[in-house]
Amino acid sequence: MAAGPRPEDIPRIRIVLRIFRVSAIVTGVFLLGLCVMMVLRYGFHVDIELGGSQGFIALQQPKLIEAVNLSTFELIAHGWLYVLYLGLDFLLWRMLRFSFGRFLFFALGGVIPFLSFYFEFKIPAYVNARLAETEARATPAEVAA
């Protein structure tokens, strides 16, 4: 199998890349929120409570929470957003046919704080360069297909 994207995949790659950029930003924001939540939970032994007796949003010991535990919501939401991020990473890997090591490196964007914001700019530049190479090599009939 030849390395690099196939000309007929270029329109789909561009769509996946747009969704990936949004996913990288959202996942990065939730990861930063998760870091704050972890500091509160394990450093100060409190969780974030929504709508409890202490007010609209309050810091409360986990065993005393009587309303919505936003810390748990944060954990779950980041987990699912990271799954979406990985899925888009996988689609880019499959369509661009880059190395598995690069796939794993890009996957770190949802685990290391601020890395997804960096990847939100770097991955599109990498992908667009690969697409430009493919378009330069392809005949007009291949790109239109």
Residue 14 lies in a domain: no
Domain that residue 111 falls in:
21-131
Q: Is the predicted pLDDT of residue 1 greater than 50, yes or no? A: no
Domain count of the fold of the chain:
1
Residue 140 lies in a domain: no
- Reported as type and span, the H/E element at residue 15 is helix 10-38
Cβ atoms within 10 Å, residue 93: 17
pTM for the complete prediction? 0.84
Residue 136 lies in a domain: no
Secondary structure letter of residue 59 according to DSSP: E
Residue in the block written with tokens 């995949």: 9
Taking each helix axis from N to C terminus, what angle separates 10-38 and 115-137, rounded to the nearest 10 degrees? Answer: 170
Residue 16 lies in a domain: no
pLDDT tens digits, 25-66: 999 999 999 999 999 999 999 999 998 888 899 999 989 888
Nearest to 117 by CA among 38, 37, 21: 21
Residue 48 lies in a domain: yes
Tokens coding 141:
């009939």
Return the SS3 of 113.
Answer: coil
Residue 99 lies in a domain: yes
Are the C-beta atoms of 67 and 51 separated by less than 8 Å? yes
Residue 142 lies in a domain: no
Residue 110 lies in a domain: yes
The band of 19, judged by pLDDT with boundaries at 50, 70 and 90, is very high
Q: Is the predicted pLDDT of residue 141 greater than 90, yes or no? A: no
